[in-house]
């Protein structure tokens, strides 16, 4: 049974089932069929579904206050800010609220322009930053961009993981905007020294470094921020997706120097900083413990090894860091996604030929083993 929402503009290719309930690592459809979650709703439900700490924080806040404009102080917002800033590099002191990843990028572009007085932003080919006009301007790829051109002036793209290419264009730029690992593109992990070299180039050329950790942040790669693994501290950091385990939320965090140059009243949003999202956000951040991160690192590297052991001629490459993994195929990905779904595992595409696996960070080894075994079975059948 599918419960169709018939008024929607058909912007999404639908997957043919109605998901109506979730608990832990599992989701259920309207027919009562259970699915193992290997996608976390595109990287959002890092603590799985119906997580007790998040549910209880939301329930408590629901009965107190669900909406509070940012012209007022609010206790849920204050405790969210304390919980978040404690987990971030000390240089990142101030934040602005958003309701999505794209909005957090919009704010980052605006703040970089305000702080530097410069218009140019350099992003990377294959990069994905969202689909509002500003975020789309730094996103790469004709499919998303062409129907909406002309986009924001001053946005350029250079090949990812290519320091020389960046060094030839960075002079005069206000900011460089990158994902520490490219997610939507198919989980591309750059060379270990890439971010450090980008940081150095930014410093030498007076450009700000904006890191988009919308997908990589919140423990996805085994540390709270992926950029921690290179010891790189951005001037502006974007977080969203997993930050409130499913409630719509984004934040743009900036250094004190950047914050001081953002004019009062120059940015805002009615719903942003919503107390319900903040309560969920605090509970989520507190649940991303050192133990959980350790589990992501251990399970993640074991999972990638296990995926690499699958003997299937259709596999071109396996990539990953923590629980952000991809299996690139030699063929289109849709039949495999469909077969996995029929076998009770929900995974994601990345580009046309890659399966992306973003299971909740609470996954136990047995769940990951089931995902890998199901993938092996589905690939074996498709190869016949």
Ligand X SMILES: Cc1ncc(COP(=O)(O)O)c(C=O)c1O
**Which residues make up the interface to ligand X (CB under 6 A)?**
42, 100-102, 105, 128-130, 179, 183-184, 212, 214-215, 240
Q: How far is the CB of 75 from ligand X (least distance, A)?
A: 26
The residue among 230 and 370 lying less far from ligand X, judged by its C-beta, is 230
The residue among 58 and 211 lying less far from ligand X, judged by its C-beta, is 211
Q: How far is the CB of 343 from ligand X (least distance, A)?
A: 25
Q: How far is the CB of 248 from ligand X (least distance, A)?
A: 8
The residue among 270 and 289 lying less far from ligand X, judged by its C-beta, is 270
CA 113 to chain centre: 23
Q: How far is the CB of 238 from ligand X (least distance, A)?
A: 7
Q: How far is the CB of 286 from ligand X (least distance, A)?
A: 22
Q: How far is the CB of 225 from ligand X (least distance, A)?
A: 13
Sequence-distant (≥ 6) Cβ neighbours of residue 117 within 8 angstroms: 174
Map 188-257 to HEC letters.
ECCCCCHHHHHHHHHHHHCCEEEEECCCCCCCCCCCCCHHHHHCCCCCEEEECHHHHECECCEEEEEEHH
| Cis, bond preceding 215 (omega within 30 deg of 0) | no
Nearest residue relative to ligand X (C-beta): 101
The residue among 214 and 345 lying less far from ligand X, judged by its C-beta, is 214
- Asked whether 367 and 25 are in contact (CB, 8 A), the reply is yes
Query: What is the C-alpha separation between 23 and 50, in angstroms, rounded?
Result: 5
Tell me the C-alpha to C-alpha distance, in Å, between residue 321 and each of 6, 64, 169, 181. Answer: 39, 40, 29, 9
Tell me 263's DSSP state: P
Q: How far is the CB of 214 from ligand X (least distance, A)?
A: 4
The residue among 36 and 324 lying less far from ligand X, judged by its C-beta, is 324
Q: Which of 74, 85, 67 is CA-nearest to residue 251?
A: 85
The residue among 215 and 374 lying less far from ligand X, judged by its C-beta, is 215
Ordered strands of the 236-239 beta sheet:
92-98, 250-255, 236-239, 208-212, 175-178, 121-124, 155-158
The residue among 121 and 314 lying less far from ligand X, judged by its C-beta, is 121
Q: How far is the CB of 113 from ligand X (least distance, A)?
A: 19
Tell me 24's DSSP state: B
Query: What is the C-alpha separation between 258 and 371, in angstroms, rounded?
Result: 43
The residue among 120 and 129 lying less far from ligand X, judged by its C-beta, is 129
């Amino acid at each position: 049974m599918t419960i169709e929402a018939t008024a929607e503009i058909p912007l999404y290719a639908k997957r043919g089932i109605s998901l109506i309930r979730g608990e832990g690592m599992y989701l259920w459809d309207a027919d009562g069929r259970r699915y193992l979650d290997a996608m976390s709703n595109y990287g959002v439900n890092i603590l799985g579904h119906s997580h007790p700490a998040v549910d209880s924080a939301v329930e408590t806040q629901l009965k107190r206050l669900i909406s509070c404009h940012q012209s007022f102080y609010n206790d849920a917002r204050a405790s969210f800010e304390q919980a978040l800033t404690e987990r971030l590099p000390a240089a990142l002191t101030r934040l602005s609220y958003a309701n999505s990843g794209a909005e957090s990028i919009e704010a980052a572009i605006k703040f970089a322009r305000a702080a530097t007085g410069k218009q140019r932003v350099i992003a990377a080919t294959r990069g994905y930053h969202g689909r509002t006009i500003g975020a789309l301007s730094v996103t790469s790829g004709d499919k998303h961009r062409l129907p909406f051109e002309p986009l924001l002036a001053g946005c350029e793209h250079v090949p990812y993981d290519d320091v020389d290419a960046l060094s030839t264009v960075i002079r005069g730029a206000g900011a460089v905007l990158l994902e520490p690992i490219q997610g939507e593109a198919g989980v591309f992990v750059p060379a270990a020294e890439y971010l450090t070299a980008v940081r150095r180039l930014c410093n030498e050329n007076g450009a700000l470094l904006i890191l988009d950790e919308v997908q990589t942040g919140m423990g996805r790669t085994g540390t709270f921020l992926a950029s921690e693994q290179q010891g790189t501290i951005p001037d502006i950091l974007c977080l969203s997706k997993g930050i409130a385990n499913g409630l719509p939320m984004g934040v743009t965090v900036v250094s004190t120097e950047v914050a001081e140059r953002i004019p009062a009243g120059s940015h805002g949003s009615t719903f942003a900083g919503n107390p319900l999202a903040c309560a969920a956000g605090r509970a989520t951040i507190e649940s991303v413990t050192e133990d959980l991160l350790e589990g992501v690192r251990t399970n993640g590297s074991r999972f990638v090894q296990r995926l690499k052991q699958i003997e299937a001629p259709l596999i071109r490459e396996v990539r990953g860091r923590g629980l952000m993994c991809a299996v690139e195929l030699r063929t289109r990905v849709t039949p495999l996604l469909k077969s996995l779904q029929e076998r009770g595992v929900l995974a994601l595409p990345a580009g046309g030929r890659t399966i992306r696996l973003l299971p909740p960070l609470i996954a136990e080894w047995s769940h990951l083993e089931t995902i890998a075994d199901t993938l092996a079975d589905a690939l074996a059948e498709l190869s016949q």
